[in-house]
Amino acid sequence: MATRRIFLILMALLAGLMFAGCTNGDTEKQELVVLCGSSFVPPTDEIIKQFQAETGIEIVTTSAGSEDFLPLVKTGKKGDILVTHDPYLDDVKDAGAYLDSTQVGFLVPVLAVAKGNPKNIHSIEDLVQDGLKVGLTDPQYSTCGEMVFALLEKEGIKDAVLKNVGNRLTKGHSNLGTFMETGAVDAVIMWNGVAHNYTEHLEIVAIPYEYDTDIRVHIIGLNYSRYPELTERFIAFAGEHAKDIFASYGYVK
């Protein structure tokens, strides 16, 4: 009788363990974390919304500068997917964190002016006009800033333009958008996609592409992802749909 009682107790414990194991496996929340460069939030939000609607997979997004995410990627500390631009794709590969990727658009520095172009600015050379108020991004923090400073140097107008910039050298492109929105500047050079978010307050001047490099936008799967199959699924979905979405937000060359 005692032996039977012990046997029944052991069977009950085993059943409980099996049930608990199945419950944990069935209810584990599978959630992808997207590290989104701050210049790409609106189109990324849209592709995420479409992906969630089709798959039901939960996704959370963290937004910051791409340079801020790089230490996390290099140490494998956070994220399943990174939305960024050149040259960070190479940095991810060099860090051994690359799983897969798809190119979704281009970042292009654009010359933006106040609505109606009251200062008659039609080229970068026009930014040397006396008394003009100009905003640029700081090359210490911005790839766009690096490209613009190199072009101004090549054209021999860097010092004259920076005189009109004064203290309006910013870390982020959204600050330039705010400058245009509030009328604090007459002109800025900023990423195309960010300018698209402020079209109510500015217009883009069509000028030739004079920069030495192309800057591509990438959605990158990270190989330390907790859910590599889901990450690959997201990259494949982005490969089919994200180019059109990013184009609609101005990320074209």
* Cα gap 143→198, rounded to integer Å: 20
Which residue type does 67 have?
E
pTM of the predicted model as reported, rounded to 2 decimal places = 0.81
pLDDT above 50: residue 138: yes
Instruction: Write down the pLDDT at residue 30.
Output: 85
Most confident of 7-16, 19-28, 164-173: 164-173
Which residue type does 123 have?
S
Q: Is 31 left (phi over 0), alpha (psi -120 to 50) or beta?
A: beta
Please write the tens of the pLDDT for every residue from 236-246: 999 999 999 99
Task: Return the C-alpha torsion angle 220, 225, 230, 234, nearest 10.
Answer: -10
Confidence of residue 3 (pLDDT cuts 50, 70, 90): low
- Domain 31-106+214-248: CATH superfamily is Periplasmic binding protein-like II (3.40.190.10)
Instruction: Write down the pLDDT at residue 5.
Output: 53
- Domain 109-205: CATH superfamily is Periplasmic binding protein-like II (3.40.190.10)
Cα Rg of the chain, angstroms: 25
Weakest-pLDDT range from 3-12, 89-98, 125-134: 3-12
What residue segments make up the domains of the chain, in order of their start? Answer: 31-106+214-248, 109-205
| CA neighbor of 220 nearest in space, from 90, 121, 114, 116 | 90
Fold equal for 31-106+214-248 and 109-205? yes
Please write the tens of the pLDDT for every residue from 76-111: 989 999 999 999 999 999 999 999 999 999 999 999
